[in-house]
Amino acid sequence: MIHVIATIELVDGKRDAFLKEFHQLIPRVHAEDGCYEYGSAVEIPTSIAAQTTPRDNVVIVVEKWASLAALEAHLKATHMTDYRAKVKDFVKKVSLQVLQQA
């Protein structure tokens, strides 16, 4: 199984607009072959000492895929190309961690 943690840094004030588009995308991704999990999360404040300061302009996407091939097919899907075009003006930076179980 492949795990992906995508950290998406957004233009200030654009998180809600980004999430609106992202939530419309989720059912299409869930229907893809090999998708086990795909969803968004935002940071919240806690009293946990090791936590960094929550960032209002960041969305984390947590994904699980059956294989690297399934992930690569997902990245090439038409709905992903369409989604990237819709959110391009909201996104400052994207970083990915692609992991396998240890």
Walk me through the domains of the chain, giving residue ranges and CATH numbers. 2-100 (3.30.70.100)
**Integer-rounded Cα radius of gyration of the chain:** 14
Q: How far apart are alpha carbons 6 and 2 in whole angstroms?
A: 13
Q: Which residue has the tokens 């090791």?
A: 50
DSSP-H helix ranges across 1-102: 15-30, 68-76, 78-87
Question: Could you list the pLDDT tens digit for every one of the 102 residues in the chain?
Answer: 999 999 999 999 999 999 999 999 999 999 999 999 999 999 999 999 999 999 999 999 999 999 999 999 999 999 999 999 999 999 999 999 999 999
Strands laid side by side in the 2-10 sheet: 35-41, 58-65, 2-10, 91-100
The model's pTM is 0.93
